[in-house]
Amino acid sequence: MFDKDTYAHRREQLRKSIKDGIVLIPGNVDVPMNYRSNTYRFRQDSNFLYFFGLDQQGLAGVMDIDSGEDMLFGDDHTMDDIIWMGPQPLLSECAERVGVKRTAPFSGLAEILEKAKQQGRKIHFLPPYRAENKLLLEDILGVGVKEQPAKVSVELIRAIVALRSIKEPQEIAEIERAIDVAWLMHTTAMKMASPGVYEHEIAGVVEGIAISGGGMLSFPLILSIHGEILHNHSHNNKLEEGHLLLMDGGAETAMHYATDHTRTMPVSGRFDERQKAVYEIVLDAQLRAIRAIQPGKTFKSIHLLAAGVIADGLKALGLMKGDVKQAVEQGAHALFMPHGLGHMMGLDVHDMEDLGEDHVGYDNEVKRSDIFGTASLRLGRKLQTGFVLTVEPGIYFIPALIEKWKQERKFMEYINYDKVQRYLDFGGIRIEDDVLVTSDGFKVLGRPIPKTVAELESLMDR
Ligand code: GLY
């Protein structure tokens, strides 16, 4: 964890943006997998980690905006806990590590909030995403699960988004440490991908590397010869000559800072001509999008730039036609890239998405598009120095979507369906890196993972 001044400073910054009342940030608890004592791997809430740093279950942080006091609620471990878990620090010792002086048993949380409620003070809480915390809020605040979305504190959400969006140098260093692990995950997959190997054989090794790095995967691994299925988490296929293998995978460090990279590789070790032509378009879109990054530009404009490069390239291949600019404005390219160019990344792989995608990615100036494809863009607003985001264009041939649009005779002026029909067995290609917005442009974070055709083919040469 970072030093205690980091957490005290972050809370101090947050306090400046909240007018009054009490801020409640519950941590997460262990969640049973199939019975009470067999739990999923514990993952602390990222807001709790950001402001209170402690990576253990059963805690809640409270900031009294009016008195300036911070409190941690939780229970010291019993002898029974210690028998099963080994020696544990006292709550007061944990609190000291994050600069919090006042602690109390977890049962005291309901009392203090009840008192505040009776005094008519505002209690700021965030949108809970886990059932356990929804029930906790119902219990201690008397706000029913169904009423909670309407009662969350938008003031608190906005203040946290403003703070967490700008990464501290120590956070960037942590992300780059995670990328060392991601580099090994991706290059190992490239070395293992060959005819006869099953996806799950590679997936298991890749997940093991993430764990060996001291943390875990930052999201369930996407590793599939069906790259056209955007979030394909099944790993049952056997790799064969001529397949493309898409791996979208990230590590998170022990401190939970994430990475997110995608590479698409030829199982045969060499791209065929058709694969290479599509790959080069995606790579061109990615490189041009990255080069366009600078503070003050909207990410939506960069998304549209990448979409234009893709539509241009597909037109050169004869798959699209007509006026490329108009095709992109109207969303015709989304047949091939139905997702957004990228998202914020940090303590969460989709950073702060629990707070609401639109609060993170949009503002009064830039609103989310309602056009299919562009509507999926998670980050549209103006970039600022210190943002960390992904840049991940792709081209996919999704048979069901192609069939639907063709039946509907959609965008006949921009799409050459006869030619597209010949790519139904192609799969999909996505290329993704993690990028820091700097005061004068951008920095692609971490050790470069092979991504040009020559780099991939050289690494996969056997
Ligand atoms: N890399 C997975 C995602 O962005 O959803």
CA 288–ligand 1 middle distance (angstroms): 20
40 touches 142 (CB < 8 A)? no
- Looking from the CA of residue 262, the nearest atom of ligand 1 is 1
Q: Give the CA distances from residue 173 to residues 167, 337, 366, in Å, rounded to whole numbers and listed in that order.
A: 10, 32, 30
Whether residue 64 has its Cβ less than 6 Å from ligand 1: no
Q: 382: pLDDT confidence band, cut at 50, 70 and 90?
A: very high
Tokens 């602690």 belong to which residue?
103
Nearest residue by C-alpha to atom 2 in ligand 1: 248
Contact yes or no for 167/387 (Cβ under 8 A): yes
Where are the chain's structural domains?
4-165, 169-459
Q: Which atom of ligand 1 is nearest to the CA of 350?
A: 4
For residue 249, the ligand 1 atom closest to its alpha carbon is: 1
Burial 156-165 (b: 16+ CB within 10 A, else e): bbbbbbebbb
Residue 219 alpha carbon, nearest atom of ligand 1: 2
Cα separation, 369 vs 339, in Å, equals 12
Roughly how many angstroms between the first and final C-alpha of the chain, as a whole number? 42
CA pair distance 53, 8, nearest whole angstrom: 10
pLDDT tens for residues 15-52?
999 999 999 999 999 999 999 999 999 999 999 999 99
Span from the CA of 434 to the centroid of ligand 1 (angstroms): 12
Distance 51 CA to ligand 1 centre (A): 25
How many A from CA of 322 to the centre of ligand 1?
31
In this prediction, residue 176 carries a pLDDT of 98
CA of 264 to the centre of ligand 1 (A): 14
- Can you tell me the distance from the alpha carbon of 15 to that of 196, in angstroms, rounded to the nearest whole number? 57
In whole angstroms, how far apart are CA 138 and each of 110, 132, 254? 11, 10, 31
Residue 233: which pLDDT band, with cuts at 50, 70 and 90? confident
Locate the DSSP E strands across 65-143: 70-73, 102-104, 123-124
Atom of ligand 1 nearest to the CA of 390: 4
Question: Is any atom of ligand 1 closer than 6 Å to the C-beta of 260?
Answer: yes
Task: Tell me how far the alpha carbon of residue 122 lies from the centroid of ligand 1, in angstroms.
Answer: 36
pLDDT one-digit tens code per residue, 342-361: 999 999 999 999 999 999 99
CB neighbour class for 138 (10 Å; exposed up to 12, middle 13-18, buried from 19): middle
Q: CB–CB of 368/358 below 8 Å?
A: yes
The reported pTM is: 0.96
Residues facing 63 on adjacent strands? 23, 70
Torsion (CA) 129, 131, 132, 137 in degrees, nearest 10:
70
Higher pLDDT, 123 or 462: 123
Please tell me the predicted confidence (pLDDT) of residue 286. Answer: 98
pLDDT tens digit sequence for 275-306: 999 999 999 999 999 999 999 999 999 999 99
248 lines ligand 1 (CB under 6 A): yes
User: Residue 89 Cα, ligand 1 centroid: separation in angstroms?
Assistant: 36
* The ligand 1 atom nearest the CA atom of 343: 4
Q: What are the tens digits of pLDDT across the range 303-312? A: 999 999 999 9
Contact 124, 22 (CB under 8 A): yes
Tell me the CA–centroid distance for residue 310 and ligand 1, in Å. 20
Give distance in angstroms: CA of 260 to centre of ligand 1.
7
Q: Check if 434 has its Cβ closer than 6 Å to any atom of ligand 1.
A: no
CB of 219 within 6 A of ligand 1: the answer is yes
Is there an atom of ligand 1 within 6 Å of 457 CB? no
Which tens digit of pLDDT belongs to each residue from 311-347?
A: 999 999 999 999 999 999 999 999 999 999 999 999 9
Question: Mean pLDDT over residues 239-263, rounded?
Answer: 98
Pocket probe mutation, ligand 1, options 206, 222, 252, max atoms within 8 Å of Cβ: 222
Q: Which CATH architecture best describes the domain 169-459?
A: Alpha-Beta Complex (3.90)
Cα 221 to ligand 1 centroid, rounded to whole Å: 9
Please give the C-alpha separations between residue 40 and each of 43, 90, 215, 343, 351, in angstroms, as whole numbers.
9, 24, 14, 26, 21
Which of ligand 1's atoms lies nearest the C-alpha of 248? 1
Mutate to test the pocket of ligand 1, among 221, 233, 390 (most ligand atoms within 8 A of CB): 390
pLDDT band, residue 232 (cuts 50/70/90):
confident
Rounded to whole angstroms, the Cα distance separating 314 from 411 reads 14
Q: What's the CA-to-centroid distance between 339 and ligand 1, angstroms?
A: 10
Report, as an integer, the average pLDDT of 88-98.
97
User: Is the confidence at residue 181, as pLDDT, over 80?
Assistant: yes
Question: Which residues, 6+ apart, have CB-to-CB distance to 300 below 8 Å?
Answer: 366, 369, 374, 377, 380, 381
Q: Which helix (H) or strand (E) holds 245?
A: strand 244-249
Alpha carbon of 313 to those of 276, 285, 381, 406, 412: distances in Å? 12, 9, 26, 21, 18
Under CATH, which number does the domain 4-165 receive?
Answer: 3.40.350.10
Asked if residues 156 and 125 have their Cβ atoms less than 8 Å apart, the reply is: yes
Cα of 123 from ligand 1 centre, angstroms: 33
| Rounded Cα–Cα distance for residues 260 and 248 (Å) | 7
Q: Report residue 118's pLDDT band, with 50, 70 and 90 as the boundaries.
A: very high
CA 262 to chain centroid: 13
